[in-house]
A = this chain, B = another copy of it.
């Protein structure tokens, strides 16, 4: 059974971490920035050195192809993204891209001829840090967003995506549009603590969570903090506190897969000696099951209405409703076989974050493979993985991709 060259993969990761590297050991490689251009060029050069081709589409998505025996068959796809968060880590996204490159290099080393072509993809602007929303270019490719919409997104300096693509020479001629794909795998760090906590090598990602985002506005009545007795108050902040604990309860009620988060809150008038009149806050639910998301939203409305007992009204506005994604079972089965053959440990799990492969799964069989990351820390310069984790993930990717690529 063949294995990847783990040392080469690790060295390649270290080389790419230099591009946009920060003093604290992380990386700032925003989408379509000069750092992104240098990283893309390096990836392209490595691909060409390996005898592979590299195409770029109108969204800057890069497709590196290793030709199989029969290019009329739908290819197998793998990949992730080169862009990073500001002050992000060295593995989020780029690990999946470079592990994919290592798979292709390994197949070359072993002179393995596959039935199908294998395509390694780098999706543009996955993070959404420079241009919102996230997963912009895979969204266009999968027909979920229009090119016009995507090109017109602007960064905080009013530079559009189209201008930025042209500035770094990565606006390809071929339209960003899905082509037939036999199977797609994305290998990624978990960005959460589960695999490390459970000492598991590989996460078989069976689904991506649905998400519902809300804005709540709690209205009480501003009052003098000294002259207003406790029982005369209509305090929007203590009502918010009650709501926040109920939102947390909703998350625990739907554990272990559910997530309930208040990330944002704004108090008005926000003065030390005024009982707050208003709190505006975000609420975000995630869960892999649609029925659970319904139940969470219902519980949120109940919690909001219960604040009337405090003389506080709460309006609930739903901003986004992303349905859960169930990944492809045939794709998962190949990965499970690979894990078993390699003698690694694994568990079925759910992605709490969105990934490009969620969009890919709309038009092709797809699934994801997770490896642990230290303490679950991600979107942070302190993001870390161990070389052994990196190696195991790449071996599992190799045999998942290879199994699919040999199917006729």
Contact = CB atoms under 8 A, between A and B. Distances in A.
A24 to B, nearest CB: 15
A232 interface: yes
A226 B238 contact: no
Nearest to A353: B226
Given A222-B380, A244-B241, A229 B263 contact: no
Nearest to A211: B226
Contact of A231 (B255, B276, B284, B378): B255
Nearest to A257: B229
A229 B193 contact: yes
Interface stretch (A76-84, A105-113, A265-273): A265-273
A255 B229 contact: yes
Interface size class of A (residues with CB under 8 A): 35 or more
Copies in the complex: 2
26 contacts: A192-B232, A193-B232, A194-B229, A197-B232, A224-B376, A225-B259, A226-B352, A226-B354, A227-B352, A227-B353, A228-B376, A231-B255, A231-B256, A237-B262, A237-B265, A238-B248, A240-B241, A241-B242, A245-B245, A263-B273, A263-B275, A263-B276, A264-B272, A265-B265, A272-B282, A274-B379
Interface of A: 190-194, 197, 209, 211, 213, 222-232, 235, 237-238, 240-245, 248, 251-252, 255-256, 258-267, 269-276, 282, 284, 286, 351-354, 376-380
Nearest to A373: B227
Nearest to A261: B225
Those 3 A-B pairs whose CB atoms lie nearest each other, nearest first: A226-B352, A192-B227, A241-B244
Nearest to A258: B230
